[in-house]
Amino acid sequence: MSQNTGAPEDATAWRARQEAVRRDSEEQREQQERQAAEAAERARQTPPPSNRDDRNDLGGDEVDERRRGFFGSVLAGIREIIIVIVLAMALSFVVKTWLFQAFYIPSGSMENTLVRDDRVIVSKLTPGPFDLRRGDVVVFEDPGTPTPWLAGLNNTPSTVGGPFHDALVFVGLLPEDSENHLIKRVIGLPGDHVQADGTTGKIKVNGVEITEPYIKPGDAPSEGKPFNIVVPQGKVWVMGDHRSDSADSRYHDGDSGGVDGSVPIDKIVGRALFIVWPIEHVTWLGVPERTFAQVPSPSGTEAPAIKPKATNPPPAKTTTAKAG
């Protein structure tokens, strides 16, 4: 009898336990849902924090690493700029000292070849590796004998400048304000016999009349200044293209026969190659070879190329060329 009633009692108990487990699970799930909803509501109602330190979101080490990386990049960029500037200045110094130099034309003694305010590039390789020729336009230091060629001219130095300006002048990035240089055209080489009648007649070099297309229109070849000289060895006879406005070899020779009026070759800085400024004046300053093509050397043969004696390189500076 008891065996027949045991099975139903066990099934009933099992179902009761299952029901209790189900109710507990539902209650836990409902409780979790309520907690999640309450958390979401609190998060929605809570205002976002202001002026939050990055350290709240990132570790302090990571922030420091970012800052170090930023400042490191800035310092690296500054270092590269300084290196580029130093290299550019060094290159400019080398080019200006041994190769090329810019000059400024402040007067009209070389018109119309060069006019006031032109900027020209001068090659320091002539004289030197390249030879001086008749017709070259050259820049040279004031010979200073028997008197300075620039004496009496208004050579008031510029007051614009300062240490930074002076540094740029020294390395060749700016022109210097000094005016102890002149620019003229070579007419006679060492040993040449150069003469003019002082009227409208052409200049003769070693007995041959030369036609000078570069003379400013309206000017005579010797413009009222007769001369008959022989260019001493180691010197050249120079004249401006604007003959009526050029205090050149003619006006500094006196009665020396070419000794005082000729310019020592070792005073020549270089040959003017081309005009670089202003843009509308940009042109190559070629040598008028036809003008001197028929001129013989003093011995009756073609004049040999003239090279100066070896000298130390000229002072490294960018100088205003005074066209006298």
pLDDT tens column, 170-206: 666 565 545 688 999 999 999 999 999 988 899 999 9
Q: Which of 239, 198, 211 is nearest to 113 (CA)?
A: 239
Cα separation values, 224 from 44, 120, 214, 249, Å? 104, 30, 18, 14
Task: Over range 83-107, report the average pLDDT.
Answer: 76
Is 205 in the same domain as 150? Answer: yes
- Three-class SS state of 35: helix
Is 121 in the same domain as 88? Answer: no
List the catalytic residues: 109, 184
pLDDT of residue 143: 92
Cα separation values, 168 from 87, 172, 174, 181, 273, Å? 13, 6, 6, 20, 23
Is 114 in the same domain as 202? Answer: yes
Q: What is the CA radius of gyration of the chain?
A: 45
Is 296 in the same domain as 191? Answer: yes
Task: Over range 137-148, report the average pLDDT.
Answer: 89
The answer to whether residue 293 sits within a structural domain is yes
Is 253 in the same domain as 205? Answer: yes
Is 64 in the same domain as 115? Answer: no
Task: Over range 252-266, report the average pLDDT.
Answer: 94
pLDDT of residue 286: 87
The answer to whether residue 90 sits within a structural domain is yes
For residue 140, pLDDT beyond 90: yes
| Contacts of 281 by beta carbon, 8 Å cutoff, 6+ apart | 115, 118, 275
Q: What is the C-alpha to C-alpha distance for residues 299 and 297, in angstroms, rounded to an integer?
A: 5
Is 306 in the same domain as 194? Answer: yes
Range from 188-197, 217-226, 300-309 carrying the lowest mean pLDDT: 300-309
The count of domains in the chain is 3
Q: Is the dihedral of CA 63, 69, 70, 75 positive or negative?
A: positive
Q: Which of 276, 323, 308, 313 is nearest to 96 (CA)?
A: 313
Q: Average pLDDT of the chain?
A: 79
- Count of CA atoms in the C-beta half-sphere (13 A) of 293: 5
Q: Which of 107, 104, 103 is nearest to 246 (CA)?
A: 107
- Local confidence band at 158 (pLDDT 50, 70, 90 cut-offs): very low
- Residue 287 · residue 135 · CB < 8 Å: yes
The residue segments making up the domain with residue 9 are 1-43
The answer to whether residue 304 sits within a structural domain is yes
The answer to whether residue 53 sits within a structural domain is no
Task: Over range 136-156, report the average pLDDT.
Answer: 81
Is 64 in the same domain as 202? Answer: no
The answer to whether residue 247 sits within a structural domain is yes
| List of E strands, 124-201 | 137-141, 176-188, 193-196
pLDDT of residue 215: 95
Is 231 in the same domain as 196? Answer: yes
Is 78 in the same domain as 147? Answer: no
Is 257 in the same domain as 182? Answer: yes
Cα separation values, 65 from 59, 71, 79, 163, Å? 10, 10, 21, 40
Task: Over range 295-307, report the average pLDDT.
Answer: 60
The fraction of the chain above a pLDDT of 70, given in percent, is 72
pTM of this structure: 0.65
Query: Which residues on neighbouring strands pair with residue 296, listed in sequence order?
Result: 302
- Local confidence band at 11 (pLDDT 50, 70, 90 cut-offs): confident
| Contacts of 251 by beta carbon, 8 Å cutoff, 6+ apart | 225, 261
The amino acid that residue 45 corresponds to is Q
The answer to whether residue 52 sits within a structural domain is no
pLDDT of residue 170: 64
The answer to whether residue 49 sits within a structural domain is no
pLDDT of residue 38: 82
The answer to whether residue 50 sits within a structural domain is no
- Local confidence band at 141 (pLDDT 50, 70, 90 cut-offs): very high
Is 90 in the same domain as 169? Answer: no
Selection from 5-19, 46-60, 188-202 with the highest mean pLDDT? 188-202
